[in-house]
Structure 1
Amino acid sequence: MNKKWNYSSFGIPDSYFVRGKAPMTKEEVRAVVMGKLRLQEEHIFVDVGAGTGSVSIEAALKLSKGKVYAIEYKEEALELLEINKNTFEINNLNIMRGRAEIELKKIASFDRIFVGGSSGALPEVLDYAHQHLTPEGRIVITAVTIETLNQGLQGLKTKGFQEIEVISVGISKGRFTGNYTLMEAQNSVYVISGMKK
């Protein structure tokens, strides 16, 4: 067990991470993403657009015999990713600095890939994932716009991925005000997943 997170469940609270202004997959959505990835302890996992590293760290904690590659190019996010890696005392996380379409080419094969952000390179990422995922490897993509949802969904279909699934995750969180609790909605997130056959 990790000193910072000594539970076996997914969905480490957001407050455990140093966040800054870099994007982060929030804890409830992250729990869904981790479930769709279906990790095994020896897997090689790639996180594209790692941001603060919340997904990378959750994966690294599960992959006791595996390895995590976190790809990120934004400087602030890279700094936060390094801080969070050290905070959680993660040893099996390799931070790759650069654009996904370039850095991915340094990884010959992997079992799971998560695309949380691709900065316009989603087609290239899907191409590489399809070619280099192991048989029955899984891909999970999150999208907050209809355009990215469509691009991801059509991309998986075109590449011949199987068991394709898309869900919409809408979370509302309670905010206490005096004697009352207001439910405040967060942005809906689409979670697309599929398996390579």
Structure 2
Amino acid sequence: MNKKWNYSSFGIPDSYFIRGKAPMTKEEVRAVVMGKLRLQEDNIFIDVGAGTGSVSIEAALKLSKGKVYAIEYKEEALNLLEVNKNAFELNNIEILKGRGKTELNKIEAFDRIFIGGSGGELPWIMDHALQHLSQEGRIVITAVTLETLTSALHGLKDKGFQEVEMVSIGVSKGRSTGNYTLMEAQNTIYVLSATKR
């Protein structure tokens, strides 16, 4: 078991990751995302728009016989990805530097894909996923904006994915202020998931 996270549960605390200005899927949302992925230990998993690598790392810890491809093109995020990968002592993550449209073409087939950031390439990535996911493969997409949500939802249905599901996650976290605790709301996140049949 990994030295930094000695539990089998999802939702590694955000504080375990080295963070900068790069986007990160927060721990409560990440726990839901991981559940929707339905990982098996030998899966090939792709994380598009990997950011700090929090989802890639959670997946890599579960994929004892599998592999993670973390795709990212922003320089700061790439540096954080490398630092976090090394901090968790994982050797089953391969970091691919570039845009999703370019890097996905380097991977022949895969079992699970998570799209946390698409850089405007979401329709193409969904098409590619439909063609290259294994049977019973899973796709999970997170959206912050209503435009991305709408595009993802219609895309999954129109392209013929099955078991299309959408959940809205609104998290509030307690913050101490003297003798009191205030609940601070975080951005609502939409999590879409579907299966290739």
TM-score (norm 2): 1.00
Q: Hey, what's the Cα distance between the residues in 1 that align with 2:180 and 2:146?
A: 34
Q: Hey, what's the Cα distance between the residues in 1 that align with 2:13 and 2:183?
A: 18
Cα shift at 1:11: 0.3
- Find the residue that maps to 1:168 and give its secondary structure: strand
Q: What residue number does 2:161 align with?
A: 161
- Find the residue that maps to 1:25 and give its secondary structure: coil
**1:95-124 deviations in whole A, cap 9, x for unaligned?**
000000110000000000000000100011
Q: What residue number does 1:80 align with?
A: 80
Q: Hey, what's the Cα distance between the residues in 1 that align with 2:4 and 2:110?
A: 27
Q: Hey, what's the Cα distance between the residues in 2 that align with 1:151 and 1:71?
A: 21
Q: What residue number does 2:46 align with?
A: 46
Asked if residue 66 in structure 1 is aligned to residue 80 in structure 2, the reply is: no
Counterpart mapping for 1:87-106 below 5 A: 87-106=87-106
Q: Hey, what's the Cα distance between the residues in 2 that align with 1:144 and 1:105?
A: 26
**1:15-73 deviations in whole A, cap 9, x for unaligned?**
00001000000000000000000000000000000000000000000000000000000
Aligned residues: 197
Identity fraction in percent? 77
Q: Hey, what's the Cα distance between the residues in 2 that align with 1:105 and 1:124?
A: 11
Letter in 1 for 2:128: Y
Letter in 2 for 1:141: I
Q: What residue number does 1:177 align with?
A: 177
Q: Hey, what's the Cα distance between the residues in 2 that align with 1:5 and 1:91?
A: 15
- Find the residue that maps to 1:102 and give its secondary structure: helix
Unaligned residue ranges in structure 2 (runs of 5+) = none
Cα shift at 1:186: 0.1
